[in-house]
Amino acid sequence: MTDAAPDRRTAAPTPDRAALPLTLAIAVLAWLLTRNTSLTPGLNIPLLTLTLTVTLSVIARKRGTPPNRAALTVLTLGLLCAAGLATRDGTLATRLNALGLLTALTFGLSFLRFPGLHRLTLGETLGTLLNGFGHTATGLLRIAVRSPWRHLWPRPRPHTGRSRRILTGVLLTVPVLAVFGTLLGQADPRFAALFTHLPEWDMDLGPLSGSLLTILLWSFAAGGAVHAALHATPPGRTPPGHAAPNRTGLGLTELGVPLVSLSVLFCAYLLVETLAAPATGIVYSRYVRQGFGELSAVAVLTLAVLLASHALLRRDLRLTLPYRLMSAAVLLPLALLILSAYTRLSLYVTAYGLSETRVLGAVFLAWVTLALATYAALGWRGRLERFAYFSLISGLSLTVTLDAVNPGHLIANVNLNRDLNHVTNTLRRTPQRTHLGDLLALGADSVPVIVAHLDELPDLGETHAERLATLRAVANDLIFPQDDWRTWNLGRARARAILP
């Protein structure tokens, strides 16, 4: 007979002497790497991310809990996203890389010491995301509670215990009296007059107060990461020795009706789109743009419906042939709907060129397509518990792939060539015009494309030197913040080399 598991709600947290100094050190490092940079990403982000992940992995290994391989895979992709912040410029690449980095850190650090990341359920995935916010809000405080403060004091010598207690009381009293005395003095000038004859200490903290506040904010972020990696338990996992409850679920009839109805609805839409006459009374660009967005939303919502149906279905029915056939009846017409969405996006690009929004839409739909393919493959084999992990890996991999493609360069190259070649087609009767400001808004990655066609662009000057001077003046205003080594970026460095 085994002993009962301890009650975690009442057990005192294990003291940790290293966590608080580590948190403060990471916070100070983050402050040094980002101060006076307006949080412009560059080398500072991958350096901070590398320091954080390597340090926490080494500490976890030294404490006898080697980092989980799945968590290290996610953290590696997060490091590649951080590297993307130092290599690519532009709004699209920066936002996607930042999102990928935060997501990778949330999942990778939460499961650094635990198995199970590759077998997350949908509820555990949502729980991990919510816990990430909780760790950031409370991690520093939890670490402070675990810190063995008594070790900060020297060992008491004989006859010094009373003096130390008095000194501690004085140190705790000074800030209390300062804060409440100030408030009471502001409430009644007569009370404040009692202190007018005291010697004045005029100390202007200046930038120091802002620096301390910034370090405090970074301390909360670092505390969340340290707490998640070294102290917290993975969210939603079943404690050892406790079997998951055998909950009842819905049957094939209850879930079969909505799934089959959804399949019939998809087939009816495909039939109408194939046989009906073209829509009239609507602008073509709106028809294509809204059609792509709405079909993408249908794909996402269908994925959510399939995941929900799997969670609600009784476990003994999840591998039966009728349920597999109902899922296939939804997935097959959905594949044609996704193909229709890609076709509309292709027509939109043919008519109006590329943009960051269209590239983002293509990447998002590609991720949804991979997620649906993963659902189909794993669901058919009865291993759907791996779905969340593979979807996470595919999303991060698509972000890294987009960095390799270089979206700013791609969009500028496609649109500029369409303009210079006077591209027209059945969807566009007049050539597309590209403006210098629109190209530079894509970021520094567009500068090499602009310089390669500088003499062909209109309204920049008569000579090559005048055109180059105009481009340099506009580029300096739009995409060239004053960099030091912390905010160095490969795209901006290449643009500066072309525009000295």
Q: Does residue 236 sit within a domain? A: no
Residue 386 has pLDDT above 50, yes or no: yes
Q: Where are the beta strands (DSSP E) in 22-142?
A: none
Residues 439 and 417 both lie in one domain: yes
Residue 315 has pLDDT above 50, yes or no: yes
Q: What pLDDT sits at residue 133?
A: 86
Q: Does residue 8 sit within a domain? A: no
Residues 415 and 395 both lie in one domain: no
Last residue of a domain, one of 368, 388, 403: 403
Residue 168 has pLDDT above 80, yes or no: no
Last residue of a domain, one of 403, 427, 450: 403
For the chain, give the percent of residues with pLDDT over 70.
76
In terms of pLDDT, which residue wins out, 360 or 195?
Answer: 360
Q: Does residue 5 sit within a domain? A: no
Residues 414 and 395 both lie in one domain: no
Residue 84 has pLDDT above 70, yes or no: yes
Own/partner long-range contacts of 18-23 (Cβ < 8 Å, ≥24 apart): 18/59, 19/143, 19/146, 19/147, 19/226, 19/227, 19/230, 19/231, 20/143, 20/144, 20/146, 20/147, 22/55, 22/59, 22/226, 23/140, 23/143, 23/219, 23/222, 23/223, 23/226
Mean pLDDT (whole number) for 206-231:
83
In terms of pLDDT, which residue wins out, 33 or 454?
Answer: 33
* Counts for the chain of helices (H) and strands (E), in that order: 18, 0
Q: Does residue 13 sit within a domain? A: no
Residue 178 has pLDDT above 70, yes or no: no
Residue 2 has pLDDT above 50, yes or no: no
Residue 240 CB: number of other CB atoms within 10 A?
6
Q: What is the pLDDT of residues 8-63, one digit of tens each?
A: 444 445 556 788 899 999 999 999 999 888 888 999 999 999 999 999 999 999 98
Q: What pLDDT sits at residue 197?
A: 58
Residues 397 and 413 both lie in one domain: no
Whole-structure pTM value: 0.81
Residues 55 and 109 both lie in one domain: yes
Residues 223 and 74 both lie in one domain: yes
Residues 398 and 256 both lie in one domain: yes
Q: What pLDDT sits at residue 221?
A: 92
Q: What is the pLDDT of residues 241-252, one digit of tens each?
A: 444 444 567 888
Q: What is the pLDDT of residues 191-211, one digit of tens each?
A: 666 666 555 544 444 566 667
Residue 493 has pLDDT above 80, yes or no: yes
- Total number of residues shown for the chain: 500
The two structure tokens encoding residue 461: 């000057």
Residues 133 and 273 both lie in one domain: no
Q: From the CA atom positions of the chain, what is the Rg in Å?
A: 30
Domain count, the chain: 4
339 pLDDT band, cuts 50/70/90, is very high
Residue 158 has pLDDT above 80, yes or no: no
H or E stretch including 420? helix 407-420
Residues 177 and 131 both lie in one domain: no
Residues 431 and 369 both lie in one domain: no
377: Cα within 13 Å, side-chain hemisphere: 10
Mean pLDDT (whole number) for 427-440:
79
Residues 27 and 118 both lie in one domain: yes
- The Cα–Cα gap between 152 and 149 comes to 5
Q: Does residue 4 sit within a domain? A: no
Q: Does residue 235 sit within a domain? A: no
- The Cα–Cα gap between 421 and 417 comes to 6
Select from 460, 466, 467, 448 the least CA-distant residue to 408: 448
Least confident piece of the model among 49-53, 62-66, 186-190, 285-289: 186-190
Q: Does residue 157 sit within a domain? A: no
Residue with tokens 């890609």: 342
363 pLDDT band, cuts 50/70/90, is very high
Q: What pLDDT sits at residue 222?
A: 92
Angle at 34 between CA 474 and CA 109, to 5 degrees: 120
Mean pLDDT (whole number) for 121-139:
85
In terms of pLDDT, which residue wins out, 244 or 319?
Answer: 319
- Domain range for 398: 252-403
Which neighbouring-strand residues pair with 62? none
Helix (H, G, I), strand (E, B) or coil at 451: helix
For the chain, give the percent of residues with pLDDT over 90.
34
Residue 225 has pLDDT above 60, yes or no: yes
Residues 177 and 223 both lie in one domain: no
5 pLDDT band, cuts 50/70/90, is very low
Select from 436, 445, 448, 438 the least CA-distant residue to 473: 436
- The Cα–Cα gap between 385 and 118 comes to 8
In terms of pLDDT, which residue wins out, 479 or 393?
Answer: 393
Q: Does residue 207 sit within a domain? A: no
Residue 79 has pLDDT above 90, yes or no: yes
Last residue of a domain, one of 403, 427, 452: 403
- The Cα–Cα gap between 116 and 237 comes to 8
